[in-house]
Amino acid sequence: MLPYVFRRLLQAIPILLAVAALIFVLFSVIPGNFATSQMADGRSNIDAATIERMNQQFGLNDSLPLRFAKYVGGLATLDLGDSFRTRQPVINLIGERLWPSLQLALAAMLFAIVIGVPLGFLAALRPGSWIDMFSMVFAVSGLSLPMFWLGLLLMYFFALTLNWFPSFGYGDGDPRYIVLPAIALGVSPLALLARTSRAAVLEILHADFVRTARAKGASSYRVMRWHVARNALVIVLTTLGLQFGSVLGQAVVVEKLFAWPGLGSLLVDSVTWRDIPAVQGCILTIVLFFLVVNIAVDVLCAVVDPRIKYS
Amino acid sequence: MLKKLAFTTALTFAAFTLQAQAQEPRRGGTIRFTAPYGASFVSNDSHVSNQIQDEIYGYALHGMLYKWDAKNGKPVLDIAESVQVSADGKTYTYKLRDNALFHNGRKLTADDVIWSYTRIMDGSKNYPGARYVARIVGATDVQKGQAKEISGLKKIDDSSFSMTLTDKADPGYFLFQAQTAILPAKEAQAAGFFEKPIGLGPFKFVEHVPGSRMAFERWDKYYLTGKPYADKLVISPMGEAAARDVAFRNKEVDVSILGSTQYVAYKADPNLSKGILEVAEVFTRNMGMNPTFKPFSDKRVRQAINHAIDSELIIKRLVRDKAYRASSWLPLSSPAFDKDAKPYAFDPEKAKKLLVEAGYPDGFEFEWTATPNESWGVPIVEATIPMLAKVGIKVKVKPVETSALGGVVVGGDFQAYIWSNTSGPDTLTALKCFHSSTPRSSCNYTTFKNAGFDKLIDDASNEADTAKQLDLLKKANALLQEEAPVWFFNYNKAVLAYQPWLHGLQPNSTELALQRYEELWVDTTSPAAK
């Protein structure tokens, strides 16, 4: 197993490099740079000499391949460069934001798993019932609702009308602050998990080995616990991995809306101000998180289902 | 119309001032402020950022040489108690306050001021405040690495120093921003200083949770005895207007800057409308015309555009009255604003006539660069398209991102652009942007060139008598209107909604979100009164 994990981690390197290269190219194509973005407020007049000095300070006058080579050289020593905006090492900025982002991602996924998976199982066990209808309506709605709009609805209903939760902010360890952003972020994976669980359980319920188990006189509980749930779990885990991995990237909108101090809000501000090192750092972290979560899920699948072997 | 607007504004200010004075300030409680221009603060180092977002906390933490007196619309001394000006108006000698103490209890000295300004001029760092400090003699030598000290700054003793400027100007207009904050020289050079920075401001730094909040507590030894009133101050960056709206209505924050949609909703609400502060900010929304594009080199064409667009209709319908109609460049809050000047009348017939005289009887087509901004971007341009079409002018919209607009304009890569540009608070500085010696990259974006205008500005620069100078500037502003280098659209009306328990807000025309926190206080009805 360990050589497999090591190999997968090695495979992540070219992916990260490709992402870094893509960001470099994108930012060299779109108009504007950090120096000129400083004038956006209409009150900061920056003369040509200052723009030139800033471009020089941040190495923006170098050719794209040279800048990329320098960046990759830095990456090798975990140096993500310094942020143009804050003049601080990007790795420090990410360090400050990673834990709040992880907290939010974990809370959102917990919400999605605790509700989504049982909902999918129940719907599959009673196909065509009201719970099946409800779970599928919920799943379709959850997948199609724009996150920003859902967040606003939650704010208006649970913060403004019912006054159950604060509408924004990180709080001082007060768990009430994470509830609304976690729900806003968790609804989409919840919907997908519910749908996937339902489909997986339905399929397995009709499998030969389940029929055989029942014919052998196994109790419903035993059939569900040992035959259906274990087999469905692999499919659910794979979906979970994909969702968990991408939730950090999806959090951009939610973090900005709820003033949650995670990577997403850092990324938005960095894009606005053309802070290329910070953008790169944030995106690479999100990509790395996605890769690591999916490797972990692969390992977990092998633990759950002994038939899966990685050579 | 403008008279009416100015009168209404004055009445609002007066009513607001009276209301604030009617109650005795109360000590204690927490002020819960919002910073509406982004999802985070850039840095704990106020010298690093040029964004208003960071100035919002800078006013709590730091003292500057000057501060903006919002009620009287002029700069006043902050950390200095007196100043003497030389006969030539270029050398200023300051006596620092004896009771100005940094948050570690150490007394402010002239060395701190000199060190702070020298730091800002570090050429390898490109701090944004350098454009202000550069007006001190020898500052640019430090920036270029040709000197280690700013020759125009001389320490006289621990509590006084002199400052010589490169030109005759009132330094109060450019040394009140938080980008020119005075830091403690020795302490600021220590490693880790900016993790928990100290300054001279009314509030001490407590913590910064990046992307969430910055918290402060009262500095008991602030130089203004008895101030600040509040025990604590929490500033939350909240870039999303809708989220701010919910937080404000839910009484989680004490203030919120309003956009045009919310402005209408708040005005219509009987409760929320009681807590609205409106100010004509020193920003002029305009369409700059590039004279290298042949039609725009003719004054009559530029005037025709000003006549062809129904600015009032756009302000009413699209900007929802969250702006004041512009007559020329200088805004309502400028002392040189001419209340009797009439803006260009909406007169398509006159516009057509001017176009015929200029040799464009069939009109022409031009490319208009615009950002997505709702108050001075693509939506506004789209509204003008049918108006301009009626006089034969076709418009091709060229959308750009807000952060790219500055680069496009400075590079001269446009036929026309729409922007919101600063037009104050210093009238002379604002008008100098149209002086022919000012390059496009500095702020003469339309490369305006007019000998008569240049003379008026030069005379105003050399005039010692304030009243005479003001008269010259009024004439220059009138000439600018006549020459119409831009379409004069509107002056920004900034709107701040505040909770009924918050008092002491100031109508700051330089930027309404920038408040002197030492003047603010909360009464016992605040949810954070304790």
pLDDT tens for B76-129 read: 999 999 999 999 999 999 999 999 999 999 999 999 999 999 999 999 999 999
> Nearest CA to B64 among B106, B23, B34, B94?
B94
Which residue is closest to A95 within chain B, CA to CA? B210
Residue A135 or residue B365, greater confidence: B365
Average pLDDT over residues A243-266: 90
Residue A271's Cβ-side half-sphere holds a number of Cα atoms within 13 Å equal to 13
- How many A-B residue pairs are in contact by the CB < 8 A criterion? 173
Helix (H) or strand (E) holding B283: strand B276-289
Average pLDDT over residues B446-457: 98
Which residue is closest to A262 within chain B, CA to CA? B211
Q: What is the pLDDT of residue A75?
A: 87
Distance CA(B41)–CA(B51), nearest Å, equals 9
Residue B441 or residue B327, greater confidence: B327
CB within 8 Å of chain A, chain B residues 267-296: 283
Which residue is closest to B250 within chain A, CA to CA? A160
Average pLDDT over residues B224-232: 97
**B247, A167: Cβ pair inside 8 Å?**
yes
CB within 8 Å of chain B, chain A residues 171-230: none
Distance CA(A246)–CA(A259), nearest Å, equals 20
Q: What is the pLDDT of residue B2?
A: 47
Least-confidence region, from A214-223, B33-42, B356-365: A214-223
Distance CA(B107)–CA(B121), nearest Å, equals 24
Which residue is closest to A162 within chain B, CA to CA? B250
**A260, B211: Cβ pair inside 8 Å?**
yes
Residue B296 or residue A6, greater confidence: B296
A92–B contact, CB cutoff 8 A: no
Q: Which residues of chain A does B409 touch, with a Cβ-Cβ cutoff of 8 Å?
A: 39
Distance CA(A55)–CA(B126), nearest Å, equals 10
Q: What is the pLDDT of residue A298?
A: 84
Q: Which two tokens stand for residue B350?
A: 């006159």
* Placement of tokens 């616990």 in the chain: A225
Least-confidence region, from A4-8, B67-71, B229-233, B264-268: A4-8
Say which DSSP state A224 is in: I
Q: What is the pLDDT of residue B11?
A: 45
Phi-psi region of A36 (alpha: psi -120 to 50; beta: other; left: phi over 0): alpha
CB B419 within 8 A of CB B408: no
Instruction: Kindly report, residue by residue over A144-194, the tens digit of the pLDDT.
Output: 889 999 999 999 999 999 999 999 999 877 899 999 999 999 999 999 999
Q: Considering CB atoms only, which of A38, A43, A54 is closest to B422?
A: A43
**B211, A255: Cβ pair inside 8 Å?**
yes
Q: What is the pLDDT of residue B7?
A: 45
Q: What is the pLDDT of residue A311?
A: 61
Residue B523 or residue A242, greater confidence: B523
* Placement of tokens 């929320």 in the chain: B272
Q: What is the pLDDT of residue B20?
A: 47
A310–B contact, CB cutoff 8 A: no
Q: Considering CB atoms only, which of B45, B236, B401 is closest to A32?
A: B401
CA distance A33 to chain B (A): 7
Which residue is closest to B284 within chain A, CA to CA? A42
Distance CA(B47)–CA(A165), nearest Å, equals 37
> Nearest CA to B6 among B330, B426, B423, B434?
B330
Q: Report which listed range, A60-74, A243-257, B445-459, is most confident.
A: B445-459
Helix (H) or strand (E) holding B125: none
Residue B288 or residue A9, greater confidence: B288
Q: Is the pLDDT of residue B384 over 80?
A: yes
Q: What is the pLDDT of residue A8?
A: 82
B49–A contact, CB cutoff 8 A: yes
Distance CA(A237)–CA(A301), nearest Å, equals 7
Say which DSSP state B487 is in: E
Q: What is the pLDDT of residue B341?
A: 93
Q: What is the pLDDT of residue A1?
A: 73
Q: Considering CB atoms only, which of A163, A261, A274 is closest to B211?
A: A261
B130–A contact, CB cutoff 8 A: yes
Q: Which residues of chain A does B283 touch, with a Cβ-Cβ cutoff of 8 Å?
A: 42-43
Which residue is closest to A267 within chain B, CA to CA? B39
Average pLDDT over residues B309-336: 96
Q: Is the pLDDT of residue A12 over 90?
A: no
Q: What is the pLDDT of residue B14?
A: 46
**B212, A259: Cβ pair inside 8 Å?**
yes
Q: Is the pLDDT of residue B261 over 70?
A: yes
CB within 8 Å of chain A, chain B residues 131-170: 131
B437–A contact, CB cutoff 8 A: no
pLDDT above 90 coverage of chain B, percent: 89
Q: What is the pLDDT of residue B445?
A: 95
Mean pLDDT of chain B: 94
Average pLDDT over residues A230-246: 87
Q: What is the pLDDT of residue A113?
A: 94
User: Which residue of B54, B126, B440 is the best one to mutate when testing the A interface, meaning the one whose CB has the most A CBs within 10 A?
Assistant: B126
Q: Considering CB atoms only, which of A41, A42, A57 is closest to B51?
A: A41
Q: What is the pLDDT of residue B403?
A: 87
Q: What is the pLDDT of residue B177?
A: 95
Q: What is the pLDDT of residue B22?
A: 56
